[in-house]
Structure 1
Amino acid sequence: MIAEYYIIINELAGSGHGKVVWETVKPILEQRQIRFEYRISEYAGHTIRLANEYVKTIQRRPNVTPVILVIGGDGTLNEALNGIMQVPQAEPIPLAYIPGGSGNDFARGLGMATDPAIALAQVLNNMRPRSLNVGYFHETLKNEHRYFVNNVGLGFDAQIVDDTNRSKKKGRLGRWAYLSNMLAAYSQQEGFPLTVHVNRKRDYYKRAFLCTVSNIPYFGGGVEILPQANLHDDQLELIVVEEPHWWIILWLFVLLLLGGRHLKSRFVHHYRNANLHLLVNSVEIGQMDGQIIGNRNYDLYLSTHPYPFWIDTSIHDHH
């Protein structure tokens, strides 16, 4: 089976790192005489349109597997996935990825190489589609259906994302940019009413501070917030932290950096289930895969959805 690659590049990802990665990848593709075509994503939301157009226009041929390859950050991969999922497919086109952003949490969660040449080898030397469970949510107040590769967050982590995306430090500092914006986010974020429905259980938090649903262990460029989260199962993980004093937040992050011990704290509430329902009856900031999804009320139903990826993480060199 021969693979053909339909590539989308976000050259601005990671403050220009996406362009550097593409300049590494393109000569290798040409040298190996790989069949490919490419498009450059030029503005927010453009990758959604490009991926959508690829799915609609790719002509299937015998013994040839078309693969949509994304080069950029987690937000670029998110846009590509959502563009693909807008088009019904009897036989879904596999999705491949080479990390070129600042956080690269999806690659970290999957166990991908971050070196562009090795990551490319993990794509080119792959022999079959491999199903991963991506996140999915239905927000009923706006009747919005979206897919995510990493996580969805309301409150504190979304405020950090917003501050970090506005910061010039993001591309240079990676996860330290997120951590350095924690104090500013703490001063901006107030507690909010949150209802969590899991199966027949209903929990109400009068002053929730952080609410993050994740499909991978990491957020913020390598912060291991939910160590058990796994792309290979159908479970989502949810962490809720109620509004704390500043010293509690500091203590929780010390525990977090020590390897997941924060989940044992009495200030932290941890859920794991295939289906989650979150209800927020106040206007709060939200993020999905490092991109802000607005300031609003939320009625979110979350689950996972299998999708074929074209990545073999067992490959550890570029030959």
Structure 2
Amino acid sequence: MRGVNLIAEYDIIINELAGNGRGKTVWETVKPILEQRQINFDYHVSKYAGHTTRLAAQFAKVARFKPDVTPVLLVIGGDGTLNEALNGLMSVPRKQQVPLAYIPGGSGNDFARGLDMATKPEIALAQILNNMRPRMLNIGYYHETLKNDHRYFVNNVGLGFDAQIVDDTNRSKQKGRLGHWAYLSNALKAYTQQEGFSLTVHVGRQRDYYKHAFLCTTSNQPYFGGGVKILPQANLYDDQLELIVLETPHWWTVAWLFCLLLAGGRHLNSRFIHHYRQANLHLLVNSVEIGQMDGQVIGNRNYDLYLSTQPYPFWIDTSIHDH
């Protein structure tokens, strides 16, 4: 397939409610361009939580590759919408996987940041329409053995503090205004709610035990929380995951680490931070803790969590830049 230019036929899923209605605005910008250029597409509006997963699975069942024509699933929404679409596609066994395209229309859009996608919908669309072949990116995979829960993620999985922030943010009126300061205000609230918990990190034959873990985030790319660059070295193009662990800190430690975070990732050099870079991770939490995946809460429970990556084809050419 490499080196062959292909025509794409698009099945589009729109989450109009993403980003406090930004998903709908993006679609209203994109649809006339598709029609003007006479692009072959069909579209569906995601109407409830989990609907995108169902729509993506339905497309995966019927999508057919033809000579020089590739079926592409294009998602317009936030990171949660993209996560649902990926899990829908992965739920249907296929010999040839359906490439996934994405136009950011959410409040956080961390996947788009990690991929260096354009922020303007017209240019993001051009990055898709001018693409000529699938490009393999690494997606995250987790298996939680206590509930036998298998899922895929594009950004990160967090236990404890960052999941508490996600829960507070999703409940608050600041949902549509993510960024450093909205994140900081929710972080201060979550700090008062989150207690330390026991965490065991298995990496190969190494076993590290943290008696008072506070933050435990595994990431496939640098950003979380709507642009907070928590793991600068994380890369969608390699098969490595990055894990950051912080034990229960004093409030001044949190403030200091946040300043280092804003100063370009210097927080990873702090003695308070434990940092891992591995292809496979195993996390064990023996207390009931809140968890999040790609900005969506995955519940309060104990965790026996195995994390890894695998390649998946995406239909995006980021060499076209947003100017």
**TM-score range with shorter-chain normalisation?**
over 0.9
TM-score by length of 1: 0.98
Superposition deviation, residue 85 in structure 1: 0.2
Assess if the C-alpha contact under 8 Å between 2:9 and 2:72 holds in 1. yes
1:299 alignment counterpart: 304
1:108 alignment counterpart: 113
- Equivalents in 2 of 1:118, 1:282: separation in Å? 46
Assess if the C-alpha contact under 8 Å between 1:6 and 1:54 holds in 2. yes
TM-score by length of 2: 0.97
Report how many residues are paired.
318
State whether structure 2 residue 156 is matched by structure 1 residue 143: no
State whether structure 2 residue 221 is matched by structure 1 residue 212: no
Amino acid at match of 1:239: I
In the alignment, which of 78, 94, 104 is matched to residue 83 of structure 2? Answer: 78
In the alignment, which of 254, 262, 268 is matched to residue 263 of structure 1? Answer: 268
Assess if the C-alpha contact under 8 Å between 2:178 and 2:225 holds in 1. no
* Secondary structure of residue in 2 paired with 1:80: helix
State whether structure 2 residue 59 is matched by structure 1 residue 36: no
1:77-117 Cα shifts (integer Å, max 9, x gaps): 00000000000110111000000000000000001001000
Amino acid at match of 1:169: Q
In the alignment, which of 126, 132, 153 is matched to residue 127 of structure 1? Answer: 132
1:246 alignment counterpart: 251
Do the aligned partners of residues 94 and 297 (structure 1) sit closer, same or farther apart at CA in structure 2, a change above 3 Å counting? same
- After TM superposition, the structure 1 = structure 2 runs for residues 40-59 of structure 1, keeping only pairs within 5 Å, are 40-59=45-64
* Secondary structure of residue in 2 paired with 1:7: strand
1:26-62 Cα shifts (integer Å, max 9, x gaps): 0000000000000000111110000000111223332
Do the aligned partners of residues 187 and 317 (structure 1) sit closer, same or farther apart at CA in structure 2, a change above 3 Å counting? closer
Query: Unaligned 5+ residue runs, structure 2?
Result: 1-5
Amino acid at match of 2:255: L
Assess if the C-alpha contact under 8 Å between 1:121 and 1:317 holds in 2. no
When the two chains are superposed, the root-mean-square deviation of aligned CA atoms in Å is 1.0
Superposition deviation, residue 120 in structure 1: 0.2
- After TM superposition, the structure 1 = structure 2 runs for residues 127-206 of structure 1, keeping only pairs within 5 Å, are 127-206=132-211
* Secondary structure of residue in 1 paired with 2:21: helix
Do the aligned partners of residues 173 and 224 (structure 1) sit closer, same or farther apart at CA in structure 2, a change above 3 Å counting? closer
Superposition deviation, residue 183 in structure 1: 1.1
Amino acid at match of 1:195: T
Query: Unaligned 5+ residue runs, structure 1?
Result: none
Assess if the C-alpha contact under 8 Å between 1:103 and 1:175 holds in 2. no
